[in-house]
Structure 1
Amino acid sequence: MTLLLSITLVLLLFICLMQSKQNLERNKQLAYVTHKLDEIRTSQSAETVMVFTGDEQLRELLRAINDLIEEHNQVTATYQRTELSMRKMLANISHDLKTPLTVIHGYVETILAGKGSANDRERLEKVQTKTIEIIELINKFFDLAKLEAGDQNLTLKKVAVNELCKNRILSYFDLIQNEKLQVEIEIPSQPFYVLADEKALDRILDNLISNAIRYGKDGKMVGLRLYHDDAYVSIEVWDRGKGISDKDREKVFERLYTLEDSRNKQYQGSGLGLTITKRLTERLNGHIHLESRPYDRTSFIVKLKRITG
């Protein structure tokens, strides 16, 4: 009996010693984790916390901590990109507004000085053109701001895409002729339907077609193709122009990105049209993507959920 009691006491002592050792080791590891987190926070480092341990609960805690660190790093990176984009946007806004305003000021100053009165009408027409440019630019900024803030109400209903595509491409008939472009239209007679806001979809088409004519006219051809599969209706607007380089494809939908290296600077726009197009497509629960092979086919393809029946 005494022997059994002695063995039991030894075992209990051993267990206590092991638990004490485990607690000491855990406390040491937790102290290291705390210290490491302070280092990461202070240095704004992207590293994670690594501790080699057989303690399953501690491993779970470390996994949760590292998930939070990764999420924090992603949020920080997104914030930094957004901040850089906003700074660039403000700089570009200043430039885009300053240029036409300077031209307007010059024309008005000349007219008011009474110089060259025979050309006053021509100068006033140029003033009007530049004024319209500014108004359109400001309207685009407001539209984009409303889209990104979720303040623009869209009414989704059943829309016949075929007629919308026909009407929109026909509205560019005179411009296409003036630019001496060939046009290839593939719109099936069978009606395709999507759930969309008609005005928003019309604006998407307007932006893409005008973009193809402006930037792709050196390829002498633009096109519009409508097709579908079981799930989606796809609208492809394409041209055979210079195309868009690989490095620009990732940024083409960013605010005020004007494709300086891949498009003719003579025809650069505000850099807002494709951003608005993407935002509108997303608001219609659709997707837009770009494919580009220089002087062969540069396509913007909008995919919207198909409605049957």
Structure 2
Amino acid sequence: MSNIEWILLIITGFFLILLFRYIQLKKQIRNLADQVKELNCGNSEQMLDISLIDKDLERLAGILNQYNIRQRHAIASVLRNEEYLKESVANISHDLRTPLTVILGHLQLLQKENLESSQAQRIKTILGKAEKMKELVETFYDLSILEEQQTVPEKETFNISNLLINLITENAVALEKKNILPEINLPDYSIYVYSDRNMLERILQNLLTNAIKYSAGIIKITLLQKEDSGIIFTIENPIHDNFEIDCNRLFDRFYTGDKSRHDGSTGLGLAVVKGLVEILGGSIAAKIQSNRLSIILEL
């Protein structure tokens, strides 16, 4: 064999070795990329394989593993703090409810006393603020319970027609203050549902409160029985021209269509409604047509 043939053979062998190493390296890079993708998608919690043929590639995999460990520790810390915050909000909200109830009770008793005009006005102002505070506390408590994701509905069969009529009656004072005479459309027969009574009462109360607060006219309330024994509840009210409501965000936390926020709303009431409806396996949606807001609940 001549020298030229030996040189060509050596070059060919060297080329084949480089080609084999290149193919192996590309294969390991693709494998490493797939592992990183699985980690980012949350489909895997395993560390990256660092048994690689290239030392620089092994070093990169090692650095990525260290970064992954730090990220896990950071996420775990955030989750612990989040759980602590949720628990704190629930506990504080729960602890505030009792003293607020006592304060409201004594203020209501004071209103019945023979007070001077200025004193009666001050009691009225304090009572209004205390009632607002109680509403906020109850809303935050509801949200904290929903966040725990452990709320299990206690279902029973009950008359939702009577529940709705009772709620409207209980809100008669609030309706009267805004000169609202609700238009109520109920079937001639009672409608019964199998659901969690307390949750459904909270849902209907929040929807009614929201309508009373933002209505620019008559509130229309409709309750229908579906063929599958479910129900469709609709509450409709005209809205003020200065309200810019995004129906896609209406049930988001802290969203309010009133840009001025003069009403003191936190935008939490409808977020609680959505959370409770989802727990009960129902659906809720909103639409605006001819400057009238309609919220449709199906269970």
| TM-score band, normalised by shorter chain | 0.5 to 0.7
Offset of 1:224 from its aligned partner?
Answer: 0.6
The answer to whether structure 1 residue 224 and structure 2 residue 221 are counterparts is: yes
The answer to whether structure 1 residue 213 and structure 2 residue 212 are counterparts is: yes
- Which residue of structure 2 aligns with residue 300 of structure 1? 295
CA shift digits 1:104-125 (9 cap, x unpaired): xxxxxxxxxxxxx984553344
Q: Is the 8 A contact 1:242 1:294 kept in 2?
A: no
The answer to whether structure 1 residue 273 and structure 2 residue 269 are counterparts is: yes
Amino acid at match of 2:227: D
SS in 1 for 2:224: strand
**Following the alignment from structure 1 to structure 2, what is the Cα–Cα distance between the partners of residues 39 and 302?**
40
With CA pairs under 8 Å and 6+ residues apart, which has the higher RCO, 1 or 2? 1
SS in 2 for 1:267: coil
Q: Measured at CA, do residues 184 and 126 of structure 1 come closer, stay the same or move farther in structure 2, by a change above 3 Å?
A: closer
CA shift digits 1:194-223 (9 cap, x unpaired): 22111221121111111111101x2x1101
- Which residue of structure 2 aligns with residue 185 of structure 1? 184
**Following the alignment from structure 1 to structure 2, what is the Cα–Cα distance between the partners of residues 224 and 23?**
74
Offset of 1:155 from its aligned partner?
Answer: 1.4
**Following the alignment from structure 2 to structure 1, what is the Cα–Cα distance between the partners of residues 226 and 152?**
29
Offset of 1:33 from its aligned partner?
Answer: 5.0
**Following the alignment from structure 2 to structure 1, what is the Cα–Cα distance between the partners of residues 212 and 28?**
63
Give TM-score, length-normalised by structure 2. 0.59
Q: Is the 8 A contact 2:285 2:297 kept in 1?
A: yes
5 Å matches for 1:118-137?
119-137=118-136
Amino acid at match of 1:207: N
Offset of 1:257 from its aligned partner?
Answer: 1.8
Offset of 1:237 from its aligned partner?
Answer: 0.9
Q: Measured at CA, do residues 195 and 36 of structure 1 come closer, stay the same or move farther in structure 2, by a change above 3 Å?
A: closer
**Following the alignment from structure 1 to structure 2, what is the Cα–Cα distance between the partners of residues 271 and 282?**
18
**Following the alignment from structure 2 to structure 1, what is the Cα–Cα distance between the partners of residues 128 and 237?**
27
**Following the alignment from structure 1 to structure 2, what is the Cα–Cα distance between the partners of residues 118 and 228?**
50
- Which residue of structure 2 aligns with residue 257 of structure 1? 255
Aligned residues: 212
Offset of 1:240 from its aligned partner?
Answer: 1.5
Amino acid at match of 1:242: H
Q: Measured at CA, do residues 32 and 250 of structure 1 come closer, stay the same or move farther in structure 2, by a change above 3 Å?
A: same
**Identity between Structure 1 and Structure 2 (%):** 24
- Which residue of structure 2 aligns with residue 291 of structure 1? 287
Offset of 1:151 from its aligned partner?
Answer: 5.0
Q: Measured at CA, do residues 38 and 144 of structure 1 come closer, stay the same or move farther in structure 2, by a change above 3 Å?
A: closer
Runs (4+) of structure 1 exceeding 4 A deviation are 21-24, 35-42, 243-246
**Following the alignment from structure 1 to structure 2, what is the Cα–Cα distance between the partners of residues 156 and 267?**
35
SS in 2 for 1:266: coil
> Structure 1 unaligned runs (5+)?
1-20, 43-75, 91-116, 305-309
- Which residue of structure 1 aligns with residue 235 of structure 2? 237
5 Å matches for 1:97-176?
119-150=118-149, 152=151, 154-176=153-175
- Which residue of structure 2 aligns with residue 109 of structure 1? none
> Structure 2 unaligned runs (5+)?
1-18, 41-74, 90-115
CA shift digits 1:38-60 (9 cap, x unpaired): 69989xxxxxxxxxxxxxxxxxx
Q: Measured at CA, do residues 146 and 162 of structure 1 come closer, stay the same or move farther in structure 2, by a change above 3 Å?
A: same
Q: Is the 8 A contact 1:187 1:225 kept in 2?
A: yes
5 Å matches for 1:55-70?
none
What is the Cα-based RMSD across aligned positions, in Å? 3.8
SS in 1 for 2:182: strand
**Following the alignment from structure 2 to structure 1, what is the Cα–Cα distance between the partners of residues 286 and 275?**
15
